[in-house]
């Protein structure tokens, strides 16, 4: 009883540690270097949004200048003589001038430019994420091909070992017949040669299997947790529903163009801002005072400014037409993608139906081939046929079993390929 419980526990542990297709897909996605793009896209988006928001911070400009002018404002000579007669020197503005200034400007209304830039930053980040989604989704097919390839090789290992067991059993029987004089050495040699060939085939299959497993382990970034992979369950697929990440990418591209269209419309709007200018230098804003004294003074101006780049109107229509053309190109690409996906879906639907019928027939064929092989072994024992005939029956049964397993794995792979085509 204890031995039975121990065996059951070991069996449960084996199944619990079996690697599944979904696990391999997830690990491959997380291990693939491109997964790091998501973090970089988030960082870039935050930088762009931060830069767009800073357009509402006060804009400060510092400047300084020293100039020498060929002419400056002066009083009329007659007026200067009158002032000099009263003891006042009115020499006029000096030709050498100095200024250290600061300008401060604060947006009041930017025509919607900030909202447009913010929308562009968010839309471009979403577009980049969707592009990465498409790239990582393509990784799924590569993992599936390796996974189902290993499953197929696993089945071939089992079938080849079963063939070796049948050949070994018949070889032992023929050697016994040879000792009793009811079989020939050629019969023994023929079966033994077939046995060696089967053993050679088994080694080749196991070598290919190990190569496939190493490639899958490279994708998932760790050793497979079980010697034999778990066969996925058959699932129903609704061929009418397509949810591929490419469709989301087309939508994200359209949203980016919408945001750029808003930026074009905002570029032709007037801007309003409050400003303050201050400088320390000569001459000051009081020109009369600067005509009598050359002292450096503090000066300031505050006000509201309106600016309007009318030149943006010249290219607005062309820019909007370019965006409309790009939008139409995206629509064409989306239609082409849906058309190709529909064609691929119909092809895979037909392949699924063909393999379903083949699997149904395979069970009957294998049973019939097994009966023929058992009858041949009995006929060999009674001397009705020779070893060559028996080997032919064994080969027929082996082929039937291999076809059955191959069709079952191919049916599963085709169903999951269809699921991948539709993203279900």
Q: How far is CA 58 from CA 107, 114, 258, 269, 309, in A?
A: 7, 14, 29, 20, 21
Flag the least confident range among 79-83, 259-263, 345-349, 407-411. Answer: 79-83
Residue 193: the pLDDT is 92
Flag the least confident range among 76-90, 92-106, 275-289, 305-319. Answer: 76-90
**CA dihedral sign of residues 359, 364, 367, 371:** negative
Residue given tokens 């077939």 in the structure block: 194
Per-residue burial over 361-392, b if 16 or more Cβ lie within 10 Å, else e, is ebeebbeebeebbeebbeebbeeebebeebbe
Residue 285: the pLDDT is 85
What is the residue-averaged pLDDT of the chain? 86
pTM over 0.85: no
Q: With cut-offs at 50, 70 and 90, classify the pLDDT of residue 361.
A: very high
Q: Please compute the mean of the pLDDT values over residues 140-165 and round it to a whole number.
A: 91
Higher pLDDT, 11 or 257: 257
Cα distance between residue 323 and residue 303, in whole Å: 38
pLDDT higher than 60, residue 417: yes
Q: Please compute the mean of the pLDDT values over residues 152-168 and round it to a whole number.
A: 90
Output the six-digit token pair for 147: 């996974």
Element (H, E) at 108: strand 96-109
Q: What's the CA angle centered on 44, arms 46 and 270, to 5 degrees?
A: 65
Residue 148: the pLDDT is 93
Cα distance between residue 173 and residue 381, in whole Å: 8
pLDDT higher than 90, residue 284: no
Element (H, E) at 272: strand 271-282
User: Which residues make Cβ contacts (< 8 Å) with residue 95, sequence separation at least 6?
Assistant: 68, 69, 70, 71, 72
Q: pLDDT tens digits for 256-276?
A: 999 999 999 998 899 999 999
Task: Give 303-340 as a DSSP string.
Answer: EEEEE--TTHHHHHHHHHHHHHHHHHHHHHHHHHHHHH
pLDDT higher than 80, residue 160: yes
């Amino acid at each position: 009883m204890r031995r039975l419980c121990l065996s059951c526990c070991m069996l449960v542990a084996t199944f619990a540690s079996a690697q599944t297709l979904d696990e391999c897909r997830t690990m491959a996605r997380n291990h693939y270097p491109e997964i790091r793009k998501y973090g970089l896209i988030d960082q870039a988006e935050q930088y762009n949004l931060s830069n767009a928001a800073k357009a509402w911070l006060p804009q400060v400009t510092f400047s300084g200048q020293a100039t020498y002018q060929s002419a400056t404002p002066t009083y009329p000579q007659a007026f200067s003589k009158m002032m000099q007669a009263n003891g006042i020197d009115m020499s006029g503005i000096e030709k050498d001038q100095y200024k250290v200034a600061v300008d401060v400007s604060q947006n009041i209304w930017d025509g919607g430019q900030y909202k447009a830039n913010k929308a562009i930053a968010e839309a471009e980040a979403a577009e980049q994420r969707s592009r990465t989604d498409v790239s990582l989704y393509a990784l799924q097919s590569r993992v599936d091909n390796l996974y189902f390839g290993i499953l197929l090789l696993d089945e071939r290992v089992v079938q080849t070992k079963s063939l070796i067991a049948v050949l070994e059993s018949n070889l032992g029987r023929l050697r016994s017949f040879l000792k009793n004089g009811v079989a020939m050495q050629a019969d023994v040699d023929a079966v033994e040669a077939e046995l060696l060939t089967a053993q050679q085939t088994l080694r080749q299959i196991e070598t290919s299997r190990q190569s496939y497993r190493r490639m899958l382990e490279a994708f998932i970034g760790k050793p497979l947790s079980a010697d034999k992979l778990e066969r996925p369950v058959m699932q129903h697929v609704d061929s009418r529903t397509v949810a591929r990440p490419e469709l989301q990418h087309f939508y994200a591209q359209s949203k980016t163009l919408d945001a750029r269209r808003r930026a074009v419309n905002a570029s032709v709007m007037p801007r309003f801002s409050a400003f303050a200018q201050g400088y320390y230098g000569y001459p000051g804003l009081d020109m009369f005072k600067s005509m009598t004294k050359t002292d450096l003074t503090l000066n300031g101006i505050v006000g509201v400014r309106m600016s309007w780049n009318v030149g943006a109107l010249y290219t607005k229509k062309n820019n909007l037409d370019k965006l409309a053309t790009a939008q139409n190109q995206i629509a064409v690409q989306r239609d082409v993608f849906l058309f190709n996906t529909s064609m691929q879906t119909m092809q895979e639907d037909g392949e699924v139906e063909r393999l379903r019928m083949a699997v149904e027939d395979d069970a009957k064929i294998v049973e019939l081939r097994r009966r023929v092989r058992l009858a041949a072994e009995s006929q060999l024992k009674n001397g009705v046929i020779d070893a060559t005939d028996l080997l032919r029956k064994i080969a027929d049964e082996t082929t039937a079993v291999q076809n059955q397993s191959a069709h079952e794995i191919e049916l599963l792979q085709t169903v999951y390929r269809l699921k991948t085509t539709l993203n279900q």
